[in-house]
Amino acid sequence: MVGKRVTVDDWLEEELHDEEFRLLWREREAAYKVARELLRLRKRQGLSQSEVARRAGLKQPAIARLESGAVRPTLDTIQRVARALGCEVEVKLVVRT
């Protein structure tokens, strides 16, 4: 018997019902969103992590950690990787409701 396929969004929606998880997610959500967007851009351009790292003046494991969401990158690191992907970074602050 094959189990139901669960998307990341489905999994996240379920996990957000847990108060402890929700608090942790709030702290790290921005880093995960940045990681997903950088990964999407890199793949769309057909670049390897090594090539992005070379262009950004970083090492490949740093790109892997960034894309995994395992680290909270500095704004400087995000800007370096964005430039390596031919992008600019815009920061937007939003009042929480």
83-97 per-position pLDDT tens digit: 999 999 998 888 987
Please report the DSSP string for 37-63 in residue order: HHHHHHHHTT--HHHHHHHHT--HHHH
Task: Report domain extents, the chain.
Answer: 8-84
Question: Helices 60-68 and 75-84, interaxial angle, to 10°?
Answer: 110
Residues 69 and 24: their CA atoms lie apart, in Å, by 13
What tens digit of pLDDT does each residue of 33-53 get? 888 999 999 999 999 999 999
pLDDT band of residue 2 (cuts 50, 70, 90) is low
What tens digit of pLDDT does each residue of 49-68 get? 999 999 999 999 999 999 98
Report DSSP state, residue 5: P
CATH superfamily of domain region 8-84: lambda repressor-like DNA-binding domains (1.10.260.40)
Residues 69 and 86: their CA atoms lie apart, in Å, by 21
Contact 34, 78 (CB under 8 A): yes
